[in-house]
């Protein structure tokens, strides 16, 4: 069945340079640098990426950073906590906008 998202396309991510090489090269160099051990470990960065992948709802990133987190020894519980962090921020961001709704309501209504 044809779908918009094809799991095999994840492997083709590195081919984006085919249409614009210099920017792709710069991006992948930067990307590689970002995920190296720094003041945060590679493991911590994988969990952050997993949470962000869920917030962005990117299926490629979810697959990639599920594998990456598992490879770095993360537990199922830690990974789900990362997803909850994403959920809490998304939910919080929605609810925080409720203040805007409240402000507008109060302005409009007697």
Partner 1 sequence: MKSLLAQEHLLSKSTEQLHVLNQNGFAKFRDKLTGIGLNPLKPTSIDIFQMNVGKMCNQTCKHCHVDAGPDRKEIMTKQTMQTCLEILSKHDIPIVDITGGAPEMNPNFRWFVEEVKKLGKHILVRCNLTIILAGKSYHSLPEFFAKHHVEIVSSLPHYTKFRTDRQRGDGVFDKSIEALTMLNNVGYGLEDSGLMLNLVYNPTGAILPGPQKTLQDEYKLKLKQEFGIMFNNLFVITNLPISRFLDYLLVSGNYHDYMSQLIDAFNPAAALGVMCRNTLSIGWDGYIYDCDFNQMLDMKVQGTSTHISEFDLEALSNRDIAVNQHCFGCTAGLGSSCGGQMV
Q: Where does this chain bind partner 1 (CB under 8 A)?
A: 11, 37, 41-43, 67-68, 70-73, 75-76
Q: How many Å apart are CA 110 and CA 102, to the nearest integer?
A: 13
**To 5 degrees, how large is the angle CA 40–CA 74–CA 94?**
75
> Smallest distance, Å, CB 23 to partner 1?
24
Shortest Å distance, C-beta 52 to partner 1: 19
**Judged by CB, which is closer to partner 1: 7, or 91?**
7
Residue found by looking up tokens 């083709």 in the block: 12
CA 62/CA 59 separation, integer angstroms: 5
Q: Check: CB of residue 86 under 8 Å from CB of residue 54.
A: yes
**In the bound complex, what is the minimum distance in angstroms from residue 103's beta carbon to partner 1?**
47
Which of residues 41 and 105 has its CB atom nearest to partner 1 in the complex? 41
Pick between residue 75 and residue 104 the one whose CB is nearest to partner 1. 75
């Amino acid at each position: 069945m044809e779908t918009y998202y094809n799991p095999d396309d994840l492997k083709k991510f590195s081919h984006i340079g085919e249409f614009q090489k210099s920017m792709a090269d710069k991006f992948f160099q930067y990307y590689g640098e970002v995920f190296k051990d720094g003041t945060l470990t590679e493991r911590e960065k994988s969990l952050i990426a997993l949470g962000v992948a869920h917030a962005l709802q990117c299926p490629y990133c979810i697959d990639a950073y599920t594998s990456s987190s598992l490879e770095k020894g993360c537990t199922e519980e830690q990974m789900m906590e990362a997803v909850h962090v994403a959920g809490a921020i998304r939910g919080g961001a929605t609810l925080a906008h409720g203040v805007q709704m409240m402000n507008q309501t109060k302005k409009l209504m007697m």
